[in-house]
Amino acid sequence: MPTRSLRVGIVCPYSFDVPGGVQFHIRDLAEALMAQGHTVSVLAPADEDTPIPDYITSAGKAIPVKYNGSVARMTFGPRTAAKVRRWLKEGQFDVLHLHEPVTPSLSMLALWIARGPIVATMHTALIRSRALQAAYPLVRQSLEKISARIAVSEDARRTLVEHMGGDAVVIPNGVYVDTFEQAEADPRWVGTAEAPTIAFLGRLDEPRKGLPVLTRAVPEILRAVPGARFLVAGRGDDGRDAALAELGEHASSVEFLGSITDEDKAALLSSVDLYIAPQTGGESFGIVLVEAMSAGACVVASDLGAFERVLDDGRAGYVFQVGDSADLARTVLQALSDPEERARRTALASTAVRQYDWSTVTSQVLTVYEMVLEASRALGGVEEDPTSVTGRRRGGRTEVAR
């Protein structure tokens, strides 16, 4: 690990206007690095009225784009490139850490523009990705600038290998385990043997998050456990309306909480009997599973590869066949019918999550930083690449846009 304080620049391709897993990962990594005495600046899209921490520099307004089965808010273009150059020049970074550099947004621009010690983290995990296949030619040559690659899971590493070649070290997403472990339960959400509480968190109108898989399982669960309560948290009015229509007479057993704070999320996960992760695909890790496991909720998740690995092949939770509502209902009832077995798996989960604590993850990331710094010590820090196609050339050199 580095023995001196580093200046680290982190680039986030997705907007903080509607933050998701990648944004939260970057936020927590930045704060974990700063807690160890390093200087960190994050460049990310964000609207003028979006509240962001002081260490985040806004690259401007983002636009929603359909990308990899979801809707991502990204920014691109000459004005954004100028902001990237200015941020790089002012930052004087020892290491530049790009997230999703093949996504057509800030990270791709930074990869084109910069040279020096560059680390890239890959989050995407898809069997086939037209988006990655289309974007790859844009950065094929620039990928050679990357000094080290990180993948957040084996699934993300496999996507990288199959779509772009090369390889990566696997360093998982981090969680502040103690924050969730020590969160106090909220009486509003605590269940009983006769009325257990079952939670879902995620975008309600994003099909791959799997809310319809859960709503279709609700009637069967209620037939066996009439007092069961379902707590659904997340944005998406269209998804909520569709769920209510699907639930029909069973809608009174489902409470829609809307968007909740980080504190409420920890309290919710500390209160419920089961956390349901019914995602249907496109998941590279499963950060909310780790949060739920840390908080003491027993996890029931679809058998996606990434989820099975987090749950130690079902030993630290329960898995059901992806997309199969009947199997989800059966698995939920199995978990509710055997409190001792549920407690045993939850105890295993509380031990397993320690490998994902930010104290461990940050140490692994710093080891990668030190590796690339050692390899490029003679070259100095991050600077603008004079061969960048986004620069303006005058007199044989690249002029930094103002």
- The answer to whether residues 316 and 380 belong to one domain is no
pLDDT at 398: 31
Same domain? For 240 and 336 the reply is yes
* Tokens 């307004």, located at residue: 61
12 and 161 co-located in one domain: yes
Question: In this structure, is residue 2 part of a structural domain?
Answer: no
Structure tokens at 204: 């309600």
What is the three-state SS of 58-106? ECCCCEEEEECCEEEEECCCHHHHHHHHHHHHHHCCCEEEEECCCCCCH
Task: Specify if 194 maps to a domain.
Answer: yes
Residue type, 348: L
Answer yes or no: are the C-beta atoms of 295 and 287 closer than 8 Å. Answer: no
Q: Based on the number of CB atoms within 10 Å of its own CB, is 255 exposed (0-12), middle (13-18) or buried (19 or more)?
A: middle
Count, residues in the chain? 402
Query: Are both 168 and 249 inside the same structural domain?
Result: no
Phi-psi region of 215 (alpha: psi -120 to 50; beta: other; left: phi over 0): alpha
Q: Are residues 166 and 61 in the same domain?
A: yes
Residues 296 and 342 in one domain: yes
Averaged confidence pLDDT in the chain: 89
Same domain, 184 and 221: yes
Q: How confident is the model at residue 357 (pLDDT cuts 50, 70, 90)?
A: very high
Same domain assignment for residues 283 and 338 = yes
Q: What is the radius of gyration, based on Cα positions, of the chain?
A: 22
Q: What is the mean pLDDT of residues 378-392?
A: 69
Q: Which domain holds residue 129?
A: 7-174+357-399
Whether 1 is in a domain gets the answer no
Q: Are residues 306 and 380 in the same domain?
A: no
Q: Which percentage of the chain shows pLDDT scores above 90?
A: 71
How far apart CA 26 and CA 97 sit, in angstroms, is 10
Task: Evaluate whether residue 229 is within a structural domain.
Answer: yes
- In the prediction, which pLDDT does 396 show? 33
Kindly state whether residues 138 and 209 are assigned to the same domain.
Answer: no
Q: What band does 57 get if pLDDT is binned at 50, 70 and 90?
A: very high
Give me the CATH number covering residue 321: 3.40.50.2000
283 by DSSP, 3-state: which?
coil
Quick one: how many helices (H) and strands (E) in the chain?
14, 19
76 and 155 fall within a common domain: yes
Number of domains in the chain: 2
Same domain, 343 and 391: no
Extract the tokens encoding 350: 């509380």
pLDDT band at 254 (very low <50, low <70, confident <90, very high): very high
The model carries a pTM of 0.84
Give percent of the chain with pLDDT exceeding 70: 89
What is the model's pLDDT at position 78? 82
Q: Would you state the pLDDT for residue 241?
A: 96
